[in-house]
Amino acid sequence: MRPEAERKLRAGFQRRVEEQSNRHGVPLAHAEQLADHFECGEVVGVYSAQAGGEVRRRAYVVALLPMAAIPVLIAGAAAGIPGLLPVLGAFPFAFGAWFGLSLWRGREPKRTVWFYAFTQAFMLLDDPPVQAGPVRWSQVSEVSEVWTDVYNPATEQSRPTLTAYRLHSADGQAHEISRSFWNVRDPYRQVGQLLRGLVPAAVGSKIPAFPTIDEIVGAYARRPGPGA
């Protein structure tokens, strides 16, 4: 690759990184402040993920409540009670609407969660943030892998997938770090890894790389033990 072309390529990648960092200037500055306040060393990475959105179990109970009326409606219609036969015919449509509305209203609101990685500690912050101190890497006594059955639409099958790491500290607490966390400074996310494999090596080596959750856990926590 010609020096001029390489310079322009690097400048373009660097511009994307700077734009991405500017969009997330607040959490990046917050991490720097916490690192200084708690003496956690340097900031290695700031990561973000979406949590929530699941349907609460209680919502399923509420959604299925009308099913209890089916035997009564059938018995009443068989007994010839006026008006129950049309009600029984309309029940599936009304139940479908009620079921969908109940699940929609029963979803947990989505929220943003944060993972701050420092050279000497880490912090998990929820939204809204709660008062929580850092966990020192030196306090981590064990790291276990969290495997979950994830449905693959391409194969129409579920397969075990490594979805998180559970870090156990000496005080008995466990901190689960999802692999869905992405580095807020990385403008390419998973696409960057794909591009490095598709483009020529001379170009792929110029694409900025930022530490992933796997790399953070591997570098600063102890080696994973048996699966959780």
What residue numbers bound the domain in which 80 lies?
Answer: 57-105
Contact 14, 208 (CB under 8 A): yes
d(CA 130, CA 213): 22
Place of tokens 């090596």: 201
Run of H or E including 28: helix 25-38
pTM score of the predicted model = 0.70
Quick one: which of 109, 110, 103 has its CA closest to 59?
A: 103
Instruction: Specify the pLDDT at position 64.
Output: 86
Span 78-82, average pLDDT: 83
pLDDT at 228 over 50: no
Q: What is the pLDDT of residue 68?
A: 86
Summarize the confidence of residues 133-138 as an average pLDDT.
91
Are the C-beta atoms of 184 and 28 separated by less than 8 Å?
Answer: yes
Whether residue 89 is found in the same domain as residue 116: no
Same domain for 130 and 174, yes or no, is yes
Residue ending a domain, among 89, 105, 121, is 105
Q: What pLDDT is stored for residue 103 in this prediction?
A: 82
**In the listed set 105, 134, 166, which residue is the last one of a domain according to the structure?**
105
* 125 lies in some domain: yes
Q: Residue 182: pLDDT band by 50, 70, 90 thresholds? A: very high
Cross-strand pairs, 211: none
Q: Tell me the percentage of the chain whose pLDDT exceeds 70.
A: 83
Residues 184 and 92 in one domain: no
Closest CA to 15 of 5, 4, 7, 27: 7
Using one digit for the tens of pLDDT, what is the confidence trace for 99-132?
888 888 887 788 889 999 999 999 999 865 555 7
**80 lies in the same domain as 132:** no
Contact predicate 203/2, CB 8 Å = no
pLDDT (tens digit per residue) in 144-179: 999 998 877 777 788 899 999 999 988 889 999 999
Q: Categorize the per-residue pLDDT at 190 as very low, low, confident or very high, splitting at 50, 70 and 90.
A: low
**Cβ neighbours of 73 (radius 10 Å):** 17
pLDDT of amino acid 199: 56
Question: Is 202's pLDDT higher than 80?
Answer: no
How far is it, in rounded angstroms, from Cα 17 to Cα 165? 27
Q: For residue 150, is it within any domain?
A: yes
Average of pLDDT values for 60-72? Answer: 85
User: Quick one: angle between helices 84-105 and 70-78, nearest 10?
Assistant: 170
Choose the final residue of a domain: 74, 105, 136.
105
Write down the pLDDT at residue 193: 59
Same-domain check for residues 42 and 128: yes
- Amino acid identity of residue 39, one-letter, is E
What's the mean pLDDT in 204-216? 81
140 backbone dihedrals φ, ψ, rounded to 5°? -75, 120
d(CA 205, CA 187): 16
Reported as a single tens digit per residue, the pLDDT across 20-62 is 888 899 999 999 999 999 999 999 999 999 887 677 788 888 8
115 and 169: one domain? yes
75 and 182 share a domain? no
In a domain, 197, yes or no: yes
Does the residue 227 lie in any domain? no
Residue at 179 is within a domain = yes
From CA 182, how far away is CA 186, in angstroms rounded?
8
119 in the same domain as 192:
yes
Report how many domains make up the chain. Answer: 2
Query: Does residue 228 sit within a domain?
Result: no
C-alpha dist (Å) from residue 54 to 177, 182, 215: 18, 20, 28
**Strands, sheet with 140-152, edge to edge from the N-terminal-most edge strand:** 140-152, 157-169, 174-178
Q: Are residues 100 and 119 in the same domain?
A: no
Residue 226 inside a domain? The answer is: no
User: Is 225 domain-assigned?
Assistant: no
